[in-house]
Chain A
């Protein structure tokens, strides 16, 4: 047992020293954060993990990957940017993915590993798999909100997680003592109600023992543990960086003497578990192996440039939508509730996170009645920790669950921007499609009800800018149910945005479970003289405007894109080819918006169809004010849309 710990630590050390040489030779194209000095931690913890247990790591993740069983050749090839790398050359040092062996990924952003491990723990406990999740993170991450939110939620729900803090006493060049009000990390566990242990991070035996207990505790359902491992990295933060502006040569030399490998070697010899010759033979064997895989990785093929944009999304699944022939009427909110209920009954991996979505049934009745049917674990009321539970949803989706996040008001999603944009949106791509990301994020949008500026935003333009996300905005109950169900069955992350002013509006909805594919616009009304594209509430307002203008003899075609990403420009283009005129109405801000995107695409592909400039009507470029008179002044009104259409039709 202990000899195998020695072997793993030596493999990490040899690999890191070889990578440092390769970096100096220019074979590593980007950053190279080595793990030299900290080998005992990954080794001691991973010694107690099964193949299907999941680890989540950081920018300093080579050691975690090797300890979890990644063949060193895949690590070298990845840092050399080759096709055979663990991330197929997409990641480099900071983005190592090998989900097949439970190496769920390293993140170049400090913090998310904590949340993703907590989310994986949620997934394991929901699905009762007895797997364990481990978050590795540095001392720097303990001052980040992810630490607070992740540990808290893992503690409340007793998730099977190990939080392993590798306190190497610096975050880049900032000493932890200067950055922490309470530099005793282990003691912080008390604030969240979980056990916290401080360990000598250079003593692999101590770490291994503590990890063994923590893993057993997690598997038994008793909950998470925080392990603070005090250690020191004896190479620079990143290869090629200067090292002695913030610490002294003497300090580094002293810590080199406390090398964890030397220490285990002495222990093994003293205990008679191995002889010098045996350990020398292991060292030589590993050295040869590392030299060989390094040389082989140098010869490995480069990824083909044609593959640079694959796996941004899961493959599209085509569906046939039934059409609006139903006679039964439901409200927009009730239509999505029906879809959620039908799919939760069919798929036990779906769970909902939100504030007041349990017994209460959601601020807008989005989950009414479901708590009684599916219980607390699948309808989970959360602390007010949007970043935290979005980060957890990422980890849960990486490990087989299908989280639905109910924000009430979508404004709150901005607190989770990083988790959404840097983690959730990129995960399928970075893992070359080996991880799926079925996360549904829902919330209401739009100005009205004097909700004022923090409960009225429309952020679809911002999120449509991000590759990897789907952005859906229905404007009728029929569309809402079909698109919601499609989102629940999609392997992509979907932002499902619900126009608040339309949530109570009723319309015909088929009773059976049906799907509407993303990227298919709906022509709400046919016309010949001018095309009006309206989204959310503005789709319905444009429809009303078209009705008014018909009496004046102006024939308006109204299109609701229904999804902003992907955007169905083909339908819009076809319409403009017929009418020669295009107006886009959106209550969201104009700069860099959906309207700007449609205008650019149509100008590009349909310039010769245009008889007049493309025009836009947008909400005012200002936060939403409260007073009804002010509120009305910032959102496109019906008569403003009527006048805009009329003017453009005659232009």
Chain B
């Protein structure tokens, strides 16, 4: 239940006063003791502190600054984290979202299912959107010899067990920094350019597909990425993923190689405009200097929303990834 904020009595004789305005905007988190509004009585003006924590909700009909208010009058509410409809809770549980991280839409006092779905839209809806996006696909096989050696070299050095995905995430993040055209979303029929680089990783959590996001992956070391990734995957499996954990990815990486899939094409994760599908890392015959030899390779395919990027921009982006994967030492050096 929301906690009511009512006009207090400032001194013995006060029956009414003048509301002097809010000190924090509606929707902000409030801690105990934080001044949240000012109130004038005939004797004093006082910044009134919150008695409880919560999210401040100022109703539309709340008194405005300068209004006369009487002792006990309702000014606003402090929403409690658990103020969610039964339906919202049930949906959040099913999707593996921590309801505490979902906020109600503007002006509302209760989290409803739609607020939860804003965090993770259901797969069916997403797919429909994805299929409306005009896609194209690019494929490349990268030599993974150096990638494997790097991973083997890092394994004993780092506290968290490094996966190929951690290095690939770093590669995609660095390539994206070099090719910002792909770091853009298609929203409401327009390209929205993004500045930060957050890489999503498709994770299987109890038969539910979730895409937790490694934030600012371009600025993180492989070790940090490995630590972030491990924590995120754990939260997803525990059904404790937060809104923050799942929101706002730039592009997504999905790897079915460990399930024995040689190569595949992935569906976009709207509003993102690119997704990388990683196949099985394996010895494959390749031609080197006119000779067929066995080499460790990794198949990479890139799906792109043509409204955001054309074939050439996409090809350059994929080429940059391949180069980074084939000479990954740079990734270990760049912070």
Give the number of chain A interface residues (Cβ < 8 Å): 9
Which chain A positions have C-beta within 8 A of B285?
none
Q: Which parts of B82-111 form the interface with A (CB within 8 Å)?
A: 85-90, 108, 110
Q: Is the interface of B mostly helix, strand, loop or mixed?
A: helix
Is A626 close to B, CB under 8 A? no
Is A608 close to B, CB under 8 A? yes
Is B112 close to A, CB under 8 A? yes
Which chain A positions have C-beta within 8 A of B86?
607-611
Which chain B positions have C-beta within 8 A of A612?
85, 110, 112
Is A61 close to B, CB under 8 A? no
Bound-state Cα–Cα, A632 to B87, Å: 37
Besides A608-B90, A609-B90, 10 more A-B contacts (Cβ < 8 Å) are A580-B85, A580-B87, A607-B86, A608-B86, A611-B85, A611-B88, A611-B112, A611-B113, A612-B110, A651-B108
Check A580–B112 contact: CB distance below 8 A: yes
1/0 per residue, CB under 8 A from B, across A267-303: the answer is 0000000000000000000000000000000000000
**Chain B residue nearest in CB terms to A580:** B87
Which chain A positions have C-beta within 8 A of B88?
611
Bound-state Cα–Cα, A650 to B106, Å: 11
Cross-chain pairs A/B with CB under 8 angstroms, 22 sampled:
A580-B85, A580-B112, A580-B113, A607-B86, A608-B86, A608-B87, A608-B89, A609-B86, A609-B90, A610-B85, A610-B86, A611-B85, A611-B86, A611-B87, A611-B88, A611-B112, A611-B113, A611-B114, A612-B85, A612-B110, A650-B108, A651-B108
Least Cβ–Cβ distance between A607 and chain B, in angstroms: 5
Inter-chain CB contacts under 8 Å: number? 28
**Chain B residue nearest in CB terms to A612:** B85
Give the number of chain B interface residues (Cβ < 8 Å): 11
Check A651–B110 contact: CB distance below 8 A: yes
Q: Which parts of A553-580 form the interface with B (CB within 8 Å)?
A: 580
Instruction: Name the 10 nearest CB pairs between A and B, nearest first.
Output: A608-B90, A611-B112, A611-B85, A611-B87, A607-B86, A610-B86, A580-B87, A608-B86, A610-B87, A611-B113
Which chain A positions have C-beta within 8 A of B87?
580, 608-611
Least Cβ–Cβ distance between B194 and chain A, in angstroms: 32
Which chain B positions have C-beta within 8 A of A650?
108
Bound-state Cα–Cα, A607 to B90, Å: 9
Could you tell me which A residues sit within 8 Å of B by CB distance? 580, 607-612, 650-651
Which chain A positions have C-beta within 8 A of B108?
650-651
Bound-state Cα–Cα, A651 to B112, Å: 9
Q: Which of A607, A609, A610, A611 has the most CB of B within 10 A?
A: A611
Bound-state Cα–Cα, A612 to B87, Å: 8
Which chain B positions have C-beta within 8 A of A611?
85-88, 112-114
Which chain A positions have C-beta within 8 A of B113?
580, 611
Bound-state Cα–Cα, A650 to B114, Å: 12
1/0 per residue, CB under 8 A from A, across B224-253: the answer is 000000000000000000000000000000
Bound-state Cα–Cα, A609 to B108, Å: 19
**Chain A residue nearest in CB terms to B115:** A611
**Chain A residue nearest in CB terms to B109:** A651
1/0 per residue, CB under 8 A from A, across B98-136: the answer is 000000000010101110000000000000000000000
Least Cβ–Cβ distance between A572 and chain B, in angstroms: 16
**Chain A residue nearest in CB terms to B93:** A608
**Chain A residue nearest in CB terms to B114:** A611
Least Cβ–Cβ distance between A539 and chain B, in angstroms: 25
Bound-state Cα–Cα, A611 to B86, Å: 6
**Chain A residue nearest in CB terms to B112:** A611
1/0 per residue, CB under 8 A from A, across B65-95: the answer is 0000000000000000000011111100000
Least Cβ–Cβ distance between A573 and chain B, in angstroms: 13
Least Cβ–Cβ distance between B117 and chain A, in angstroms: 11
Bound-state Cα–Cα, A611 to B113, Å: 7
Bound-state Cα–Cα, A609 to B89, Å: 10
Least Cβ–Cβ distance between A612 and chain B, in angstroms: 6
**Chain B residue nearest in CB terms to A650:** B108
Which chain B positions have C-beta within 8 A of A608?
86-87, 89-90
Least Cβ–Cβ distance between B99 and chain A, in angstroms: 13
Q: Which of B86, B90, B110, B112 has the most CB of A within 10 A?
A: B86
